[in-house]
């Protein structure tokens, strides 16, 4: 018998109309946005796959929770509820709420990094690395080599390479901590296995180096562990999540992802002394330690969101929807990062647009082409995101030059995934219609958010090629 269909485990109670645009409107909109999808107005976007951050649909129960907001400046009931839920599912003793993930990253970085320290990570994340560097740290990547290969089918491409870790721990100089990211974002949403985490935790402990989890997508990572790791199939998502966290000293978390809220984040740690120092600093940057930049109602929505996030039906449908889109593209021969990750499908722009040189940013060009084709908004995850080397000032060209189609949780249906797949196939079938991009303006920090670009004109592109053919004697 053929496989039975499955459907989203919710029904729709409130709708938000989508607006379609004409090709002429899109041409104007993307030019006005400096060919950067971050600078588009959302009213000009049809299907918004820029990010899964803060873009989820809240449930009726979360909305009901919003009405229970205790907006006391100090000691809000919602804080104590959230603290209890974080203890129950993540297992950390001390909770310091922040306005979003980078608020927690900021606190952890300034509390734990001294200028000149090394900070280890399993592939970088943009905001995390920015805060580590602003605090004077030097980032060293210890992710396994498979993470850099979009065609490697290993099930846990987010794993730490233990030999690289050992080398980094014994290289001399102070190591502030290892920031261990779950479902590694820039690698394409690739998980870390429990057995790797156990070894990593053990090795770091032996060297006296703390491990802080970037728990932003830890629930999705727990789901992959249940699915793929031998011996884990019969455990529940909460059981696996608790074990993940128990192997670390604390976490930063952007609750805008797994935790199903539109705003919020937290730092959670076990060390009472570190917690006390974090509580003291949070009042400088975010707000009092019982709200950290959030309204009481935001903390309530987060507490309810965490409980919903670990339900098996939810997480299976969430990751399943991403896989559905990914499989469609794989079957159509579009090069994407495989295995398909937890939060999005990552297009291999370098392979889709081989005629565009890396210094003309093929992934940036692909986001523009996709938008022009159908009004779908995606995000560059390649050299523009990687930024410049802090020492040399040169562009960093990472191994992966990707475009991310990020799926918000509980927002789009299977039909939206079908439309998206068709649009990507159309663009990928006509690569020569796409031209490279050059910077027009480039801010200093996290340049991908606010840079402006212009298309490289066809004759500029043709000139070096003509010279090359002459040199080759053809
Ligand atoms: N860590 C990871 C792994 C993230 O993906 C993000 C955000 C953060 C930390 C920072 O959290 O945005 O709440 O301050 N990622 C978003 C994205 C921006 O689109 O992937 P934040």
**Is the shortest distance between the CB of 420 and ligand 1 below 6 Å?**
no
pLDDT value for 248: 98
**Mean pLDDT value across residues 390-403:** 93
Tokens 């990572």 belong to residue? 221
Closest CA to 36 of 335, 394, 363, 356: 363
Q: How confident is the model at residue 461 (pLDDT cuts 50, 70, 90)?
A: very low
Instruction: List pLDDT tens digits, range 367-390.
Output: 999 999 999 999 999 999 999 998
Is the pLDDT at 470 greater than 90? The verdict is: no
Q: Which two tokens stand for residue 272?
A: 């009472």
> Using CA atoms in the order 219, 224, 227, 229, what is the torsion angle rounded to 10 degrees?
-110
pLDDT value for 124: 86
Instruction: List pLDDT tens digits, range 2-53.
Output: 667 788 999 999 999 999 999 999 999 999 999 999 999 999 999 999 999 9
Instruction: List pLDDT tens digits, range 170-179.
Output: 999 999 999 9
Q: What is the pTM of this model?
A: 0.94
Is the pLDDT at 78 greater than 80? The verdict is: yes
**Is the shortest distance between the CB of 100 and ligand 1 below 6 Å?**
yes
pLDDT value for 390: 84
Other CB atoms closer than 10 Å to residue 473's CB: what's the count?
5
Please list the residue range(s) of the chain that carry CATH number 3.40.640.10: 60-309
pLDDT value for 348: 97
**Is the shortest distance between the CB of 214 and ligand 1 below 6 Å?**
yes
- Whole-angstrom distance, CA of residue 142 vs CA of residue 208: 17
pLDDT value for 437: 97
Closest CA to 343 of 29, 50, 73: 50
**CATH, domain range 23-52+312-455:** 3.90.1150.10
**Mean pLDDT value across residues 176-186:** 97
pLDDT value for 458: 53
Is the pLDDT at 473 greater than 90? The verdict is: no
Residue nearest to atom 15 of ligand 1 (CA): 53
Mutate to test the pocket of ligand 1, among 51, 98, 101 (most ligand atoms within 8 A of CB): 101
Please list the residue range(s) of the chain that carry CATH number 3.90.1150.10: 23-52+312-455
Are 125 and 181 a contacting pair, CB within 8 Å? yes
Q: What would the DSSP string read from start to end of 406-472?
A: E--TTS--HHHHHHHHHHHHHHHH-GGG---EEEEE--SSSGGGT-EEEEPPHHHHHHHHHHHHHHT
Instruction: List pLDDT tens digits, range 105-157.
Output: 999 999 999 999 999 999 989 999 999 999 999 999 999 999 999 999 999 99
pLDDT value for 462: 44
| Helical ranges in 93-236 per DSSP H | 101-112, 126-134, 162-170, 194-206, 218-228
**Mean pLDDT value across residues 424-439:** 97
Is the pLDDT at 468 greater than 70? The verdict is: no
**Mean pLDDT of the residues in the chain:** 95
27: CA distance to ligand 1 center in Å? 29
Closest CA to 92 of 257, 252, 245, 233: 245
Least confident of 158-167, 215-224, 394-403, 454-463: 454-463
Q: Which residues carry out catalysis? A: 73, 125-126, 214, 257, 381, 448
SS (H, E, C) 283-295: HHHCCCCCCCCCC
pLDDT value for 449: 95
Second CATH level (architecture) for the domain 60-309: 3-Layer(aba) Sandwich (3.40)
**Is the shortest distance between the CB of 102 and ligand 1 below 6 Å?**
yes
Q: How confident is the model at residue 65 (pLDDT cuts 50, 70, 90)?
A: very high
């Amino acid at each position: 018998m053929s496989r039975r269909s499955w459907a989203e485990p919710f029904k729709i109670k409130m709708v938000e109309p989508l607006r379609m645009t004409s090709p002429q409107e899109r041409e104007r909109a993307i030019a006005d946005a400096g060919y950067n999808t971050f600078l588009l107005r959302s009213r000009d976007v049809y299907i918004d796959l820029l990010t899964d951050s803060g873009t989820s649909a809240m449930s009726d129960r979360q909305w009901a929770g919003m009405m229970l907001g205790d907006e006391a400046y100090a000691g809000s009931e919602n804080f104590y509820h959230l603290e209890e839920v974080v203890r129950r599912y993540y297992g950390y003793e001390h909770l310091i709420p922040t306005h979003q993930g980078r608020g927690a990253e900021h606190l952890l970085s300034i509390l734990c990094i001294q200028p000149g320290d090394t900070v280890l990570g399993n592939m970088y994340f943009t905001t995390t690395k920015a805060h580590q560097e602003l605090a004077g740290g030097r980032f060293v990547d210890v992710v396994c080599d498979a993470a850099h290969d979009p065609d490697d089918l290993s099930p846990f491409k987010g794993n730490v390479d233990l030999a690289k870790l050992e080398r980094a721990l014994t290289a001399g100089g102070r190591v502030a901590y290892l920031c261990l990211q779950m479902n590694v974002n820039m690698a394409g949403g690739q998980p870390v296995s429990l057995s790797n985490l156990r070894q990593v935790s053990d090795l770091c402990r032996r060297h006296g180096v703390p491990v802080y989890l970037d728990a932003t997508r830890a629930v999705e990572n727990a789901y992959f562990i249940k699915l793929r790791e031998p011996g884990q199939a019969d455990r529940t998502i909460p059981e696996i999540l608790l074990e993940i966290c128990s192997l670390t000293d604390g976490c930063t978390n952007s609750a805008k992802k797994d935790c199903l809220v539109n705003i919020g984040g937290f730092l959670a740690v076990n060390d009472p002394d570190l917690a006390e120092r974090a509580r003291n600093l949070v009042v400088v940057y975010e707000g009092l330690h019982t709200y950290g930049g959030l309204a009481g109602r935001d903390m309530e929505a987060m507490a309810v969101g965490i409980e919903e996030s670990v339900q098996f039906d939810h997480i299976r449908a969430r990751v399943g929807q991403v896989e559905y889109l990914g499989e469609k593209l794989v079957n159509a021969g579009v090069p994407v990062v495989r295995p398909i990750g937890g939060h999005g499908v990552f297009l291999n722009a370098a392979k889709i647009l081989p005629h565009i040189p890396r210094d003309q940013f093929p992934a940036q060009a692909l986001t523009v082409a996709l938008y022009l084709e159908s009004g779908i908004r995606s995000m560059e995850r390649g050299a523009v995101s990687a930024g410049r080397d802090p020492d040399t000032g040169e562009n960093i060209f990472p191994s992966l030059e990707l475009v991310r189609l990020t799926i918000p949780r509980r927002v789009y249906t299977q039909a939206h995934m079908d439309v998206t797949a068709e649009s990507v196939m159309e663009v990928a079938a006509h690569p020569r219609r796409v031209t490279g991009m050059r910077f027009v303006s480039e801010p200093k920090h996290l340049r991908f958010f606010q840079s402006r670009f212009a298309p490289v004109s066809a004759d500029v592109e043709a000139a070096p090629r003509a010279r090359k053919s002459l040199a080759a004697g053809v």
